[in-house]
């Protein structure tokens, strides 16, 4: 067992932890179901609650202690009503898992300082002030607040000691690791998909690349009327340390308490940043979750964390746009032919064109339905689970679909944007926003028109 605050690095030690976790979940689930037989309804509720909290605590303890790619799984699960616990207690489960996002186990500052100074030299050389209490714990590092000698307030993300080795161990264990997160991405059993996941999650370790990306994206949104991206301070960014402008503002949990109109406005901006950017710019942030969204003090929505930022081949973007247009127009035959030609559907598998059409509408219909929709956690989770694990009888044939690896993270971004909006319970006619990238139509919302005027003026 690794000491408290240490990241287990070895492949075998990390695999054994995952094995104990998966086994514990299975045994607990069976035991709870058996113990509920013949019990009064009140006892059933108590047992369900105890099971949910015990299961969540085990996930928090094991995945939080491992950090790296395993902790990323916990962050993904924390925004979903996954079918791991009784429905009446999924909120408890999700709240407990949110600890992986907001209150992950901390590594002592003495250990983190060694990482910092190993890359930057003595702290006093770079920082006029450095708060030793972390403000956040992410999947591969902790975040601190500091002040540079020129007076700028900055956020400093520092890798956990040994996390590079830990993530690479997770990647080597990915075939086994996928058993644990198959409820989120069953197609992870596919070798090409596993390679894509490994390549991109491993890319989060490259803080220098992330700093370059964030600097470029910050420039794109500089002066934007509604969105801000904190710039990186590239001269102080190294393999283990990422320094960016600090954003003072409200967390996502505070945003959730805002009035409906404010949440709806923020929901539109979340949609535009995570979804529309793929089709407008052929690039997107592949890690949409509540921990990466803030409401800045100036009223703009701030987006942070660019470790999973992707450029996408325009041909692949057009493939996705065509599929969505076909589904929007109820052209089942065109959608089916496109998927067969791309190798997504085996023509001998018995999957029908109507099944493909209905599947897209079930998983992505929020982009296609011309009506106001309030996205709830339950609605979002239903789409996510259906998209990645279509167990319903009418979609059973879709279990045999093959998601091309180049679309893994764009589909993940779409689904987890939906999940984040579900946490926000935002209302909007999402189809009207989608028409801008589906059909190149002008924006119809006031927010969209303001952004279009700013964009035109910015050149």
**Cβ–Cβ under 8 Å, residues 256 and 95:** no
Nearest to 202 by CA among 85, 72, 35: 72
Given the structure tokens 């703009």, which residue do they identify? 300
Nearest to 395 by CA among 190, 186, 90, 88: 186
Q: Kindly calculate the radius of gyration of the chain based on its CA atoms and give it in whole angstroms.
A: 22
Cα torsion 110, 112, 115, 120: sign: negative
Cα torsion 26, 29, 31, 34: sign: negative
Long-range pairs for 362-365: beta carbons < 8 A, 24 or more residues apart: 362/386, 362/387, 362/395, 363/387, 363/415, 364/324, 364/327, 364/414
Kindly tell me the burial class for residue 375, based on how many C-beta atoms sit within 10 Å of its own C-beta (0-12, 13-18, 19 or more). Answer: buried
Buried b (16+ CB within 10 A) or exposed e, 199-225: ebbeebbebeebbbbbbebbeebeebe
- Cα(388)–Cα(383) distance, rounded to whole angstroms? 9
**Cβ–Cβ under 8 Å, residues 353 and 335:** yes
Nearest to 154 by CA among 222, 224, 230: 230
- Cα(5)–Cα(111) distance, rounded to whole angstroms? 9
DSSP annotation string for 15-66: HHHHHHHHHHHHHHHHHHHHHHTT--HHHHHHHHHHHHHHHHHHHHHHHHHH
Residue of 287, 305, 389, 414 marked catalytic:
287
Examine the residue annotation and report whether 287 is marked as an active-site residue of this protein.
yes
Given the structure tokens 């505070």, which residue do they identify? 254
Here the tokens at position 164 are 């590079």
Given the structure tokens 């058993």, which residue do they identify? 179
Please list the active-site residues: 287
């Amino acid at each position: 067992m690794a000491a408290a605050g240490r990241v287990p690095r070895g492949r075998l030690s990390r695999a054994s932890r995952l094995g104990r976790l998966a086994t514990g979940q299975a045994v607990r689930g069976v035991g709870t179901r058996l113990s509920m037989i013949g019990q009064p309804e009140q006892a059933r509720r108590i047992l369900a609650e105890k099971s949910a909290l015990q299961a969540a605590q085990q996930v928090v303890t094991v995945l939080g202690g491992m950090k790296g790619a395993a902790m990323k799984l916990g962050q993904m699960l924390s925004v979903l009503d996954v079918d791991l616990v009784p429905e009446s207690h999924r909120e408890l489960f999700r709240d407990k898992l949110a600890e992986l996002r907001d209150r992950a186990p901390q590594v002592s500052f003495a250990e983190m300082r060694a990482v910092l100074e190993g890359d930057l030299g003595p702290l006093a050389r770079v920082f006029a002030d450095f708060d030793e209490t972390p403000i956040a714990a992410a999947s591969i590092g902790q975040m601190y607040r500091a002040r540079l000698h020129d007076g700028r307030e900055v956020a400093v993300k520092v890798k956990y000691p040994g996390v590079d080795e830990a993530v690479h161990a997770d990647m080597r264990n990915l075939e086994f690791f996928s058993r644990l997160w198959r409820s989120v991405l069953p197609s992870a059993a596919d070798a090409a998909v596993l390679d894509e996941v490994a390549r991109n999650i491993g890319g989060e370790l490259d803080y220098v690349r992330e700093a370059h990306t964030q600097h470029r994206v910050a420039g794109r949104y500089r002066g934007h009327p509604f969105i801000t991206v904190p710039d990186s301070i590239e001269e102080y960014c190294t393999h283990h340390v990422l320094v960016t402008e600090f954003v003072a503002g409200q967390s996502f949990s505070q945003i959730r308490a805002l009035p409906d109109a404010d949440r709806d406005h923020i929901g539109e901006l979340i949609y535009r940043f995570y979804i529309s950017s793929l089709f407008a710019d052929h690039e997107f942030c592949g890690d949409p979750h509540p921990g990466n969204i803030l409401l800045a003090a100036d009223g703009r929505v701030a987006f942070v964390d660019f470790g999973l930022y992707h450029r996408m081949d325009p041909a692949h973007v057009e493939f996705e746009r065509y599929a969505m247009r076909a589904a929007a127009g109820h052209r089942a035959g065109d959608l089916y032919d496109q998927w067969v030609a791309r190798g997504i559907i085996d023509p001998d598998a018995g999957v029908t064109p109507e099944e493909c059409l209905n599947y897209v509408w079930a998983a992505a219909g929020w982009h296609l339905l011309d009506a106001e929709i309030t996205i709830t956690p339950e609605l979002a989770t239903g789409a996510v689970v259906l998209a990645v694990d279509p167990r319903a009888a009418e979609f059973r044939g879709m279990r045999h679909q093959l998601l091309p690896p180049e679309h893994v993270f764009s589909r993940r971004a779409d689904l987890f944007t939906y999940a984040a909006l579900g946490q926000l319970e935002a209302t909007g006619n999402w189809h009207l926003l989608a028409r801008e990238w589906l059909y190149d139509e002008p924006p119809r919302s006031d927010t969209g028109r303001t952004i279009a005027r700013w964009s035109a003026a910015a050149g």
